[in-house]
A = this chain, B = another copy of it.
Amino acid sequence: MAKVNIKYLASKLNMAPSTVSRALNDSYEISHATKAKVMALAKELNYQPNPYARSLRAHSSKTIGIIIPERINNFFSQVIDGLESVTQEFGYHLLIYNSNEDVEQEKKIISYLLGGRVDAIVMSVSSQTSSSEHLVQVYNQGIPIIFFDRIALDIPTTKFITNDFESGYLGTKHLIDQGCKKISFLSLSKEITIGKERLNGYLEAIKTSELPFDESWILECTQDEKKNAEVIEQMLFPISRPDGIISSVEKLAITTYQVLKKTRLKVPQDVRVVSFSNMGIADLLDPPLSTISQPAGEIGIACGKLLMKKLTKKKQENIQDEIIMIPSSMKVRKSSQP
């Protein structure tokens, strides 16, 4: 089975490859008659253009690289679904990588992408990512890169976030309103921006309320789920334990629920819980979990629209250095109400 390419079509039709190419691309300088002939044969032989020859020639791959720190997470899946809903209409393809919260892995992925494999990058940095040298490299190469959720502040590009500070504040405020006196904040890492912002909102709420505050209420967790469970358990053991918990990521709320199940403590009677989370079944948990959920789909769509504008329009207006905020929404459920 000879591979059917433009040259082959041309020879079969007794035309030049350039004519065939133009006909296939519906160029104005080709007569209707030849166009028809070419199209017919292309269809008959099921001609498929070679994307790599095209990319090589056009210096564009019609591919977008996505880097997320975790794949088994509704939030990121929703963002990608949103993004794909926009990009697929433009014929763009999605190359998706999981950095696994590992900055070394992240660097490796970035290095793959520097060769021009993708026309743009959409990413959420790993929790380990403190320096952004590798990201600067991308920017300097002129590859459009935008961030969402976990952003790299020092790269001058568009970043999509939610109202992390405000949400952290509101979540904490809600717990205070429910009568909590000692509220613990579960954080994944101090490196990442959203952690900081949410923490600041928490701190602000505590300060405003004039409740006593102890540094140890801030629990910095790691990637090691077992260790996290131990740390959380230790926190819940003493009599001076917190009566409220706000978790800055879904994963830690789940661990908290699991730990609490092993103890005699009841939610919400003994401990009230609120978490940032995009799980679809918060309602079905025991007890239903109060959540602050991010507009994941919207964020994905916004990323997609921005990129498509940049990549498909001739007008090369650069991507603005700005932070776009799409607000989260809190849904109070039983886990935080007496």
Assess the B115–A51 pair: CB atoms within 8 A.
yes
**Chain A interface mostly:** mixed
Chain B proximity of A164: nearest CB distance (Å): 23
Q: What separation, in Å, do the CA atoms of A157 and B115 have in the docked complex?
A: 34
- Whether a CB of chain B sits under 8 angstroms from the CB of A81 is yes
- Whether a CB of chain B sits under 8 angstroms from the CB of A191 is no
- Whether a CB of chain B sits under 8 angstroms from the CB of A179 is no
Q: On chain A, which size bracket covers the interface?
A: 35 or more
Residues in A116-154 with C-beta less than 8 Å from chain B: 116-117, 137
Assess the A117–B51 pair: CB atoms within 8 A.
yes
List the B side residues contacting A61 at CB < 8 Å.
52
Proximity bits, A94-112, B CB within 8 Å = 1, else 0: 1111100000000000011
Proximity bits, A61-102, B CB within 8 Å = 1, else 0: 101000000011110011011001000000101111110000
**A61 (CB) vs chain B CBs: closest residue:** B52
Q: What separation, in Å, do the CA atoms of A39 and B255 have in the docked complex?
A: 48
Q: Which of A55, A73, A257, A287 has the most CB of B within 10 A?
A: A55
Which of A22-30, A215-223, A277-285 is found at the contact surface with chain B?
A277-285
Q: What separation, in Å, do the CA atoms of A77 and B254 have in the docked complex?
A: 18
A77 interface neighbour in B71, B111, B283, Cβ under 8 Å = B71
A285 interface neighbour in B50, B96, B284, Cβ under 8 Å = B284
**A251 (CB) vs chain B CBs: closest residue:** B280
Q: What separation, in Å, do the CA atoms of A95 and B91 have in the docked complex?
A: 13
Chain B proximity of A82: nearest CB distance (Å): 10
Chain B proximity of A197: nearest CB distance (Å): 26
Given contacts A254-B280, A254-B284, contact A112 B97 (CB under 8 A): no
Assess the B283–A284 pair: CB atoms within 8 A.
no
**A117 (CB) vs chain B CBs: closest residue:** B51
- Whether a CB of chain B sits under 8 angstroms from the CB of A48 is yes
Q: What separation, in Å, do the CA atoms of A94 and B93 have in the docked complex?
A: 10
A71 interface neighbour in B56, B80, B261, Cβ under 8 Å = B80
Proximity bits, A26-61, B CB within 8 Å = 1, else 0: 000000000000000000001011111101100001
Assess the B48–A56 pair: CB atoms within 8 A.
no
Instruction: Report which A residues bind B (CB closer than 8 A).
Output: 46, 48-53, 55-56, 61, 63, 71-74, 77-78, 80-81, 84, 91, 93-98, 111-112, 114-117, 137, 254, 257-258, 261, 279-281, 283-288
New A-B contacts (9) at CB < 8 Å, excluding given A284-B285, A284-B286: A46-B137, A48-B111, A50-B116, A52-B55, A52-B117, A53-B56, A254-B284, A258-B283, A261-B284
A selection of 28 A-B contacts at a CB cut-off of 8 Å is A48-B114, A48-B116, A50-B116, A51-B115, A51-B117, A52-B56, A52-B61, A71-B77, A71-B80, A71-B84, A72-B77, A72-B81, A73-B77, A81-B98, A84-B97, A84-B98, A93-B95, A94-B97, A95-B95, A96-B96, A254-B280, A254-B281, A254-B284, A258-B283, A261-B284, A279-B281, A285-B285, A285-B286
